[in-house]
Structure 1
């Protein structure tokens, strides 16, 4: 298995747990994060080596990544595992999967590459590389009809984990947040490269909002010491370190549940916010070079998962040059004062939640087991 991102680590860990219920002696190894390792996974390289995003960022680590990939391929061709499961990370995993599939090793790709959004030309590579796709979203299996790739819709694990209804008052009690004050959660990303581009923008946005709503409180869940240091540096640089920001390690779902609105970097966190049922404004920035390449390959008008799943703009998105503190503060302020808009958004998000709630780990395990039982 290969799972390089934090979200992939969680997906893979749940799958390992479900598979071990049927095959307790199964061995799992490759590249994976701490959650997989807690389930007995043997990671041959640090998963952090794969946690980079954007063309410019990948190029800086290209030699180390390709060297690691060649070494892993050599090991897998020698070991001949019963099945290979690449979890997301298509740019890394499809290269591996193509060579493993051609050698006779079944390949499963957990999380369909987002060919419905951009780089549709990847379908040919997917057909060459993958035996079976495990799709998180209900519209994806149709994309593979007429190809040699089997595709199973398994739902999204976050929809299983997050309750259909979350009490804001209870969430605030747990975090020690006042019940009578407006709260905004800031989720500036999980990678250092994301904080590099967005931390200061998020802080500037908060300062503008505080000028309009002086009782506002901000919750900022961060995933690591490194990203916390980056955000603290932005606070200090912008002279905002004494303003009402509560920084915390993890607890993103709790922070979102306690909030009235959320400013969130595009990615899996937008889906988590939708599943918790809170209105949001989506923002994203990357290097100018990465943005020029990305923009030319998009097919959909939306980048945020909630909007993609709804098939329309449910919440605002601001990308690159449009992701200014002024635009973000205006959009968040609109959500704070419009209770009817917040309720309408929550109804859409409830429908998405119910559609994605499929007992994903067990469905994924059911799709993988035939490959292992044949062995």
Structure 2
């Protein structure tokens, strides 16, 4: 009995020590570890994404939250987590989210799904609003992310796919069945909006699946799509990795060329729901459209899945019915095996 009492006392003292004034009111460490704690406690996570102790903006926000009693008021409802993206186990978050400003605030469900996010410096009162809005089932979203073309809700879906895919990829080993399922998630994100990291991850998975042709295709697309400037700084080690693995010079597939009759359709009849972009393969090798993604789930692109021979024509059909009395501007991205691997199409109109 005394031994049992002593054990309980030790546990109680240990828990108390975790919440003394000398300990921060938030978790640190790896995303994987904190996610597991959230699952066990069935609590959502509020996560601040930034650097380590040298991140002055992070320090200031956490200090303001302490002064505003946010940790005290919401500690029963949330797991608070300060995530250092420079930690090797957390770097993938920087790659998924493309952090354009620090700190970034995210709210995730106990199952690890992102439900709300905001980029840039926030006041403690704004953090309180984020927490309360998420609790009420009306999560807040930021303005459009400058590094993505997708609207915030679509971007949330895309990044959740990659969070799930990367977590599974890290634990998949060489199991081809698991890798195929993970690749399907990554491809779904690419179909929503291709960018460097989802193409990079698709290339890595194809390497594990012993599919060097597709691995090289995804790698070349990733290197081609990554813009100069900010993203090249974020992805520098990954870019160097792909450049070492693959030659990005002209190959047989690089001799197709896609040429559109029009890349912007200005609509005058808002009653139709089917719009067509016509193109021609003006290159010397077969052209293959790999995917066409839309800036909005309300517009569905349909395209030919078979190779377009040199000199042949093809079509991309957009199914979209505009809302009444509203101007609209929808963007589509066409990824192919052509020299001009990424082309942008625009559908505009005033109903």
Normalising by structure 2, what TM-score?
0.27
Higher RCO (CA < 8 A, seq sep 6+): 1
How does the TM-score come out when normalised to structure 1? 0.26
Whose strand fraction is larger, Structure 1's or Structure 2's?
A: 2
Flag the structure with higher helix content: 1
